[in-house]
Amino acid sequence: MKTQIKMDSGKHPGCGNIVTFAQFLFIAVEGFLFEADLGRKRPAIPIRYYAVMVTMFFTVSVVNNYALNLNIAMPLHMIFRSGSLIANMILGIIILKKRYSIFKYTSIALVSVGIFVCTFMSAKQVTSQSSSTENDGFQAFAWWLLGIGALTFALLMSARMGIFQETLYKQFGKHSKEALFYNHALPLPGFIFLASDIYDHAVLFNNSELYQVPVVGVTVPIMWFYLLMNVITQYVCIRGVFILTTECASLTVTLVVTLRKFVSLIFSILYFQNPFTLWHWLGTLFVFIGTLMYTEVWNNLGATKGQPQKEEKKN
């Protein structure tokens, strides 16, 4: 239940709010029609619990978007958020008193080192790429440091939201489609506070270069076309994760999501031409190896080799 914002940040780096609003509105309308049955279906989980979850969800989405305005490059943004699984594990130890194997604790160290390497190297790039004056360089670094703080806050808040969801599902049963609807419908009034920014970017989108949509032949501003494609692909992504969660084992779901993050990272680097050094690649490798270790991929593959695959489904 995570919303990732990937738009043309080179043209409009602050467009995260209008993208989030469009995604929330689309999923809320779809859920109202097909899940809530035009409001006639009563929620299985009381609304007050959704209100708490939505506050967390909305905060995480907005903070993650705003971090892109604070000298945070998209690859670093995506690498940092790749630690969400580990953040959830740490809060699970603290809040739910869970205990894990040494193998999984090792994965925490790998992911932490990977994120640190990428963060440190990006800090050097931000300072060197800013204005030659010491004041401008310090100012760019200060904004970057604030962006790192925002990403850290969003990472921990997202993990806390996952733990809150887990306790709700244990108490009321799993209702992923219902949760998807309410998590996107209830926050819509909150976008009133972002109305000015959304309107400003809508004007910028209207003034973007015209683009003729293939097959249909209709000419529209290209940024509105990008937004439409983003909303559709995000919807497919969320529904795809829901189908995987209900139909496949938890290991398969985690692997697919991890590979999706890796493909998104590569695409972001190539398309947006972000600087990516050998150190960044090393940090990325640590992050994804650590994530794979957390899922115990090699242990599961070895245990099931030569036997019919049988994994416990994710409840």
Q: By the 8 A CB rule, do 194 and 59 touch? A: no
> Residue 228's pLDDT is what?
94
pLDDT at residue number 311: 42
What pLDDT is recorded for position 75?
67
| Mean pLDDT, residues 17-29 | 92
Does the pLDDT value for residue 3 go beyond 80?
Answer: no
> Which pTM does this prediction carry?
0.68
Tell me, what's the pLDDT at 252? Answer: 55
Q: How far apart (Å, rounded) are the C-alpha atoms in residues 75 and 117?
A: 13
Task: Give residue for tokens 């080179």.
Answer: 10
User: In what helix (H) or strand (E) does residue 221 lie, and over which residues does it extend?
Assistant: strand 219-221
Q: Give the model's pLDDT for residue 11.
A: 61
CB 69, CB 14: distance < 8 Å = yes
Q: pLDDT tens-digit profile of 153-195?
A: 988 888 888 788 778 877 888 787 888 899 889 989 988 988 9
**The most confident of 113-127, 217-231, 256-270, 272-286, by mean pLDDT:** 217-231
Instruction: Name, in order, each residue with C-beta under 8 angstroms of 95's C-beta and a sequence gap of 6 or more.
Output: 160, 163
